[in-house]
Structure 1
Amino acid sequence: MRDTAPPRQLAFDLPLDPRYGREDFLVGPANEGAYALIEAWPDWPDTVLVLTGPAGSGKSHLASIWATRAHAWTVPAAGIGAADVGHLVSNGALVIEDIDRAGRADEAALFHLLNLARERRAPVLLTSGQPIEAIGLVTADLRSRLRLAPSAAIVAPDDALLRAVIVKLFVDRQLVVDLGVIDALALRLDRSLGRARAVVAELDRDALGRGRRITRPLALAVLERMGGGEEASEDSPDDPVGD
């Protein structure tokens, strides 16, 4: 008997460029406070703003929206050294990403940068996957400076925002799915946007490899294979909200 199963296709794991435009950011109760602060610029209460939230919550998207408005440079915290401070502040606005992942970053350099930015009235937006108190900064002056800075936290999304993000993730990949697929994912996923992004990416790869469309049974199978509703890993890109 001839095998009538569709031939298995090669699935190339090509990077999906996230869209970081203002119109691509989905606002809900989980992030509306952070979004409001970004939109309030330049009327910030301080030159420094700290934006916190779990991996995949949309911090990088919000930072990108602000960077576009403020014509800011974006740099990782781990890449800042003493020799870079004057050059970075000279642009007039700066985004410093992932201060909780800086590792052996020069804390003295970062503290000097924040002081110089305040002196020059240069706005700085810092992002972190953890609250400042949980980062474990060694430099007391830096820790105090960041604790005193205005901050906004992105929390776990509500059901409506999670569903909207799942729909957007499929649309960004130009995938058309039934409402049953959205329902299956929204009901079973933890309230983690990073996790939603990982599951949709796996569904895309799986469906492409099998040469089949994404169905509810496939979504359930992929969820089971990926361990149900586990949290997104710390390496998950921070982009599902518009990202």
Structure 2
Amino acid sequence: MARPPMGVARNRAPPNRQLTLELAPSPCFDREDFFVSGSNEKAYAMIELWPDWPDSVLLLLGPSGAGKSHLAAIWAAKAKAGVLSAALLAKADREALAAGPLLVEDVDAIGEAETELFHLVNLMRERGASLVLTARTPPDVWGLRTADLLSRLRLAPCVEIGMPDEALMRAVLVKLFIDRQLIVDASVVEYAALRLDRSLGAARAFIAALDREALSRQSRITRAMAADVLRVLSDDADDPGLQGEG
């Protein structure tokens, strides 16, 4: 059942705090949910250019929370590509993987499977199949021991996604509020966009915490409530006892 808009049913509820259940929607990686801004427009343009790429291998780089998995998923859907985590590469069937377009994620954590990655890159090139590799950092800092693999990756085209800018954070916050059917004043979005860490994960965590707080208080969302939630999230992030959780 859809949740009533905030400011209507919630305003009539008693002020006592309530236990809440987390019913957050999962992150959506559809094309229409990807917002293009200055931090990702070049990478998005390259994905849109497929299959007219200068090379069959593409490196898609960006820090955690920048949206590279979302953009990679858009390409995978467009190319009807297989999707694999680099951590599973050693156990995968190389011939089957190279049968068509392929997305391998988190390649900077390739570990002991770099030989498999080397052979996969060669096989994909031989067959002219598109291969997208995502990572947080360039290949030179992965600690690769296979010189020929590093050489091939250095030659591959590379596009980078930066951390979300203010415009992107605003757009994402608005989308997340809409997804949860939450009605808020524009000042809440502006306040949060200027103070949150520049990360899509941070935006999702903030909206989830704010929704829980509003349900707990049985109150509409205000800028003061947003400030309280941001303060708690900041305190939690600074607490050594909570680091590494989740």
Normalised-by-shorter TM-score class: 0.7 to 0.9
> Secondary structure of 2:163's partner?
coil
1:122-159 deviation line (CA, Å, top 9, x unaligned): 10111112232232223222222222211110112322
Match of 2:106 in 1: 98
Distance 2:101 2:168 in 1: 30
8 Å Cα contact 1:99-1:127 kept in structure 2: yes
1:151 equivalenced with 2:151 (yes/no): no
After TM superposition, give the deviation of residue 75 of structure 1 in Å.
0.8
8 Å Cα contact 1:54-1:155 kept in structure 2: yes
1:72-95 deviation line (CA, Å, top 9, x unaligned): 0111010011652111112x1111
> Secondary structure of 2:72's partner?
helix
Match of 1:216 in 2: 223
8 Å Cα contact 2:58-2:157 kept in structure 1: yes
Of all paired residues, the percent bearing the same amino acid is 54
Match of 2:9 in 1: none
The one-letter amino acid of 1:89's match is A
* Alignment gaps of 5+ in structure 1: 237-243
Match of 2:211 in 1: 204
Match of 1:171 in 2: 178
Match of 1:63 in 2: 72
**CA RMSD between the two structures:** 2.5
- Structure 1 segments of 4 or more deviating over 4 A? 233-236
Match of 2:57 in 1: 48
TM-score scaled to structure 2, two decimals?
A: 0.85
* Structure possessing the higher radius of gyration over alpha carbons: 2
8 Å Cα contact 1:28-1:161 kept in structure 2: yes
Match of 1:78 in 2: 87
The one-letter amino acid of 1:28's match is S
1:43-78 deviation line (CA, Å, top 9, x unaligned): 011111111111121111111111111110111010
1:33 equivalenced with 2:45 (yes/no): no
Distance 2:135 2:244 in 1: 11
Query: What is the number of equivalent residue pairs in this alignment?
Result: 230
